[in-house]
Amino acid sequence: MKSTFAVRTMRAGELELALEWARQEGWNPGIDDAPAFWEADPSGFLVAAIGEVPVGCISVVRYGERFAFIGLYMLHPEFRGKGYGKQLWNKGMALAGNRTVGLDGVVAQQEYYRKHGFETAYRTLRFGGSAQIPDVGDQAAQVTPVTHGKLEGLVRYDEGVFPGLRHSFIRAWCGSPERRKSFMVGGGSRIRGYGTIRRCFDGYKIGPLFANKPEVARALLARLAGEAKGAPIYLDVPADNLHAVTLAQEFGLSPVFETARMYRGQAPAIPLDRVFGVTTLELG
């Protein structure tokens, strides 16, 4: 009896497989991303399978009723070119419903996304390298670790920058110091910025890096980069934020990769001048 192709919600443990495929594709995810990713939307991760054999995946994380973000869209190389990708894509888009949908598309796939109604909002440049950390003077003392008692204020601050509600994700992402290190400037209703660094298969990624002013972002990046202890760091920067591009260059980082933030539907109003580093290319 021939096994049938189907797309279904991921089961526990299958997100780790998807992230392993992402590693094999050279996307360099964090070594412990799965638990926090899952918190973002447990029913937003789909797997394509032939019988019981997973062959592809896509994530369609829904942030409230107005915004969703697509990532982790891939088929195992052995199963490409057979029409499975189109079925997987259609299931994912159906899950998004009438929400505005965002994604970060690699250059080779941008025309494919345009054909499906996505339009480019801005370019994102991944800067990477071993950081040359400048002296930030008195600003260093203002950077403090994120603790559980500070998460509520952090969630509210994030609402003012990210285009959708992601309370559960932020609590998981920034509230697990054994997995990721998060730092902030200010507190309560006066937070002026925050950032997170995590270990990846190659070096470390910093994201998000949100800040009200370039000098706040600079102090945060100095503290975050110090956690890498000389290992390579990577930061995904909206190219339209010229202060962020300049900051990455000041730290000795160079462009290594490019994507485009694309939307289907009305693009959300994001204060890009406060986005010095995207959280992740998989979840927005």
Whether residue 47 is predicted with pLDDT greater than 70 in this model: the reply is: yes
Q: What is the mean pLDDT of residues 215-237?
A: 98
Domains observed in the chain: 5-120 (3.40.630.30), 126-277 (3.40.630.90)
Mean pLDDT, residues 89-105: 96
Task: Report pLDDT for 251.
Answer: 98
Instruction: State the pLDDT confidence band at 140, using cuts at 50, 70 and 90.
Output: confident
The larger pLDDT score, comparing residue 217 to residue 140, is at 217
What's residue 26's pLDDT? Answer: 87
pLDDT at 136 over 70: yes
Predicted local distance difference test score (pLDDT) of residue 5: 87
End-to-end, the C-alpha distance of the chain in Å comes to 41
- Is the pLDDT confidence value at 72 over 70? yes
As a whole number of angstroms, the distance between CA 163 and CA 38 comes to 19
Question: 3-class secondary structure for 209-277?
Answer: EEECCHHHHHHHHHHHHHCCCCCCEEEEEECCCHHHHHHHHHCCCEEEEEEEEEEECCCCCCCHHHEEE
Instruction: Read off the pTM.
Output: 0.95
Question: For strand 5-9 and strand 53-63, is the pairing parallel, antiparallel, or unpaired?
Answer: unpaired
Averaged pLDDT, 11-15: 88
H-helix or E-strand spanning residue 2: none
The two tokens of residue 238 are 């909206």
Residue 28's pLDDT band, with cuts at 50, 70 and 90, is: very high
DSSP letter for each residue of 52-114? TEEEEEEEEEEETTTEEEEEEEEE-GGGTTSSHHHHHHHHHHHHHTTSEEEEEEEGGGHHHHH
Q: Tell me the three state secondary structure of residue 181.
A: strand
177-183 mean pLDDT = 94
Instruction: Note the pLDDT of residue 84.
Output: 82
Using the predicted structure, report yes or no on whether residue 1 has a pLDDT greater than 60. Answer: no
* Across 80-105, average pLDDT: 91
Q: What is the pLDDT of residues 113-124, one digit of tens each?
A: 999 999 999 999
Residue type at 137 in one-letter notation: G
| Mean pLDDT taken over the chain | 94
pLDDT, position 3:
74
pLDDT tier at 46, thresholds 50, 70, 90: very high
Residue 173 has pLDDT above 60, yes or no: yes
pLDDT at res. 2? 62
**Residue of 262 and 4 predicted with greater confidence:** 262
